[in-house]
Amino acid sequence: MPTPRDLLNAAKAEIREVDPREVAARLDHYTLLDVREPDEYEQGALPGAVHVPRGQLEFAIESRLADKGAPIAVYCAGGTRSAFAAKTLQDLGYGDVASIAGGFNRWKDEGLEWALPATMTADQRVRYHRHLLLPEVGEAGQQKLLDAKVLLLGAGGLGSPAAIYLAAAGVGTLGVVDMDVVDSSNLQRQILHTLDRLGMRKVDSAKAALAALNPDVKVRTYDVRLGADNILDVIDGYDVIVDGTDNFPTRYLVNDASLLKRIPVVHGSIFRFEGQATVFYPYVGPCYRCMIPEPPPPELAPSCAEAGVLGVLPGVVGSIQAVETLKLLLGVGDPLVGRLLSYDALEETMRTFRVRRDPACPACGDAAGPIVLAEYDDLCMPHKVGA
């Protein structure tokens, strides 16, 4: 009967061990795999390590590390469990696996860099379980969402579903800009608000709804009219802007400010039974002015006047905006950059159209001068107020 020592020696004879310093010098080469227990991992880990406890290795590893040819450096506390883990990985078909000799203890003793990993609470693991099951999100992706800051322009038809889904998904900071009061005519489509909050500031009603849904979300409210004088301060520090505004003046202002701050804008608009969504990624794809260089005259601009809209329509378009926002934050999939998605509720069809960057765009084009934020009046007439 072999002793544990015999088993360890047998495993070590079949795997490669690597010195901590060699791994530390080539962190961009190795994928680090931590096979310790969760309580050990939470007290400190190698930077960027993937964490799969030894007991879950066989069943969990393929969803966490799909590339079986990638160089993997696996570690535990002292180098024993990682030796067995390395042997298991080899048996599973991973071709380039090494066990870090001496493990995390020797790594620390040699003064190499380590960090306290951001970890989720037990409640968060339950709440975001369906995200954690997706390799494209997983714990690292969920942590990105929890660390993310998204600014919602408008707590109305589009902003409502976007805010609710982003809060539910665990986006950690949501800013809400709106200067209106909840009115009974809003309730046909603005699902953030309720009958018992009529007359309340919309930002406060939004904050109450989001806080009731997910305590992980910090809600910052801006009960202001966005203008050339305040927009740069308001959008500062946000990762993504979700534009649910319904007028040309604000869209131009948002476009120009987002170019200055290089913050992507997830745009949505609705009219009667039709909606559109796209992503304006500064200097990567087209901007709003590439698509619509100047505001239409007021008599031709339906969004400057009140228009009818089917109640559910903003739910569809605002949800697409939420999807695009999550994709941008997670860095997965093909965001709607350079593509305009058009939804027709009566036909029940969706089409996408190419939108190209305009080299002659007055805002983001090659020959565009410095961006000067302009204020537009209620009739959609621009007048400059300085940068």
Q: Check binding of 309 to Zn ion (CB under 5 A).
A: no
Identify the residue among 144, 251, 289, 327 touching Zn ion (CB under 5 A). Answer: 289
User: Which window, 191-199, 221-229, 282-290, 348-356, contacts Zn ion (CB under 5 A)?
Assistant: 282-290
**Are the CB atoms for 221 and 204 separated by under 8 Å?**
yes
Identify the residue among 150, 241, 260, 364 touching Zn ion (CB under 5 A). Answer: 364
Q: Check binding of 265 to Zn ion (CB under 5 A).
A: no
Quick one: 133 or 360, whose CB is closer to Zn ion? Answer: 360
Shortest Å distance, C-beta 287 to Zn ion:
3
Identify the residue among 260, 287, 320, 336 touching Zn ion (CB under 5 A). Answer: 287
Q: Check binding of 290 to Zn ion (CB under 5 A).
A: yes
Q: Check binding of 304 to Zn ion (CB under 5 A).
A: no
Q: How far apart are CA 214 and CA 357, in angstroms?
A: 38
Closest CA to 327 of 347, 344, 309, 341: 341
User: Which window, 35-43, 71-79, 283-291, 308-316, contacts Zn ion (CB under 5 A)?
Assistant: 283-291
Identify the residue among 33, 316, 361, 373 touching Zn ion (CB under 5 A). Answer: 361
Q: Give residue 88's Cα distance to chain centre.
A: 35
Q: How far apart are CA 332 and CA 370, in angstroms?
A: 32
Shortest Å distance, C-beta 243 to Zn ion:
15
Residues 98-137 that bind Zn ion (CB under 5 A): none
Shortest Å distance, C-beta 279 to Zn ion:
13
In 92-137, alpha helices (H): 103-109, 122-127, 129-132
Closest CA to 174 of 113, 95, 239, 126: 239
Give the CA count within 13 Å in the CB-facing half-sphere of 95. Answer: 5
Closest CA to 150 of 120, 130, 128, 170: 170
Quick one: 307 or 360, whose CB is closer to Zn ion? Answer: 360
Q: How far apart are CA 116 and CA 111, in angstroms?
A: 15
Q: Check binding of 260 to Zn ion (CB under 5 A).
A: no
Residues 62-91 that bind Zn ion (CB under 5 A): none
Closest CA to 291 of 343, 244, 338, 257: 338
Q: How far apart are CA 117 and CA 343, in angstroms?
A: 42
User: Which window, 6-14, 42-50, 109-117, 289-297, contacts Zn ion (CB under 5 A)?
Assistant: 289-297
Contact residues for Zn ion, defined by CB under 5 A = 287, 289-290, 361, 363-364
